[in-house]
Amino acid sequence: MYAAQAYNLRARCGRGDCERSTSCFAQSDPASEPAVLAVAKVLPAVVNINTERVVRRTVRDPFEDFYAQFFGYNRVRPRQIRQTLQSLGSGFIIDPAGYIVTNQHVVERAADLKIHVTTDDGKTYNAHYISGDDKTDLAFIKIDAKEPFPFINLDNISPNLLGETVIVVGNAVGYGSSISRGVLSAVKRSITVDDIEYKDLVQTDAAINPGNSGGPVIDISGRLVGISSAKMAFTPQGVPTQGLGFAIPAEVVRDSVARFKKIAQKQGAGTKEAVASNTSTSNSERLFGMQLQDLSHELSDALGYAQGGVVITAVEPGSPADEAGVERGLVIYRVGKTDVNSVTQLEKLLGSVQSGTSVNFTTGAIRANRQSQQVATLAMTAR
């Protein structure tokens, strides 16, 4: 009986009766497929991220190395060159104001990092880095524009059930609006990348390619499953693998975004206070090319830093701070021999500094509970 019913259905579709049959239409129209509808729902919020980062390289003349081997010294100092490195990745908008979440390794903090974001409609915007977390490999950036943007809602995320259909959306190998499809094959996976262990990841057999990093993984309802993070081409023993991709779970993304938004609010409040108290360029910015902000209790908790010092929020390319290797997100703990705990205090210390004067800044990052610290003293010459 069932075989006869199936035959009759095929026969009706073959005679063109699909126009009058809802069941035939549902089976034959690709536009009604749940996966197609899910992709159409989220694609306007997915962005391609292109970053440019200037790094310094030391270049030595091979002849000079040969000369030093026999005569014990170099006649000239090694030459430094500036090289521009580019990287591609993905991200997605989580707020109509243009806030974007992506991978930290896509938009690593750098003194002169330029971030360009391209939306699905082909428009390109500049964006700036707000905050990030190496442990979760998540970062928060914002488009520098005032228009409202489509976004993916983090209030309704996928239940992440084994076997559910998942779709990877992003900038695969530089091609925007690319997708791949598979299933959620495991949860709570741990992997180690560059000696950093990432825990509680979700695993999928959907293809994750270079450029997908930071893009969303969704279910067929368009809800967030996670953020594409890494693929495993070989096991630690060197055995090749297939279908092993990993994503940061949506729950971790949602919690991190809530923390990042608090940092963004603090940064905005700090900027307004600075403008209200001093409409002229600060000494730190005028002399050394650094923009600073008080490291409040809330901000230090959000960043995981110990109390004390002022945080560097921006570094001007080509400035004395840039040339000294200072990076945004680091903390200044001491100027000369004086500990500093506020921007006002630091600005007073710099009030008498003249152009050409060399000043020692103790900078770095001391983690909460003093679990780790990386601090160095850098000499900068005021311009």
The set of catalytic residues is 105, 137, 213
Residue 52 corresponds to which tokens in the numbers above? 């440019």
- Residue 20: exposure state from Cβ atoms within 10 A (0-12, 13-18, ≥19): exposed
CB-CB contact of 380 with 111 (8 Å): no
Query: Closest Cα partner for 273 from 340, 341, 331, 344?
Result: 344
Secondary structure E strands in the chain: 46-59, 79-93, 99-103, 114-118, 124-133, 138-143, 165-170, 178-193, 196-204, 216-219, 224-231, 245-249, 290-294, 310-315, 331-335, 338-339, 358-366, 373-381
Alpha-carbon distance 257 to 27, whole Å?
A: 39
In 260-367, where do the E strands start and end? 290-294, 310-315, 331-335, 338-339, 358-366
Length of the chain: 383
Residues 6 or more apart in contact with residue 122 via CB below 8 angstroms: none
CA distance 204 to 120: 24
Maximum separation of any 2 CA atoms in the chain, in Å: 97
Q: How far is CA 120 from CA 40, 98, 171, 190, in A?
A: 11, 14, 10, 32
Looking at residue 353, what DSSP letter applies?
A: P
CA dihedral 111, 112, 113, 114 (to 10 degrees): 160
- Contact, 366 vs 308, CB < 8 A? yes
DSSP code, position 31: G
Task: Tell me the pairing of strands 358-366 and 331-335.
Answer: antiparallel
Alpha carbon distance 264, 299 (integer Å)? 10
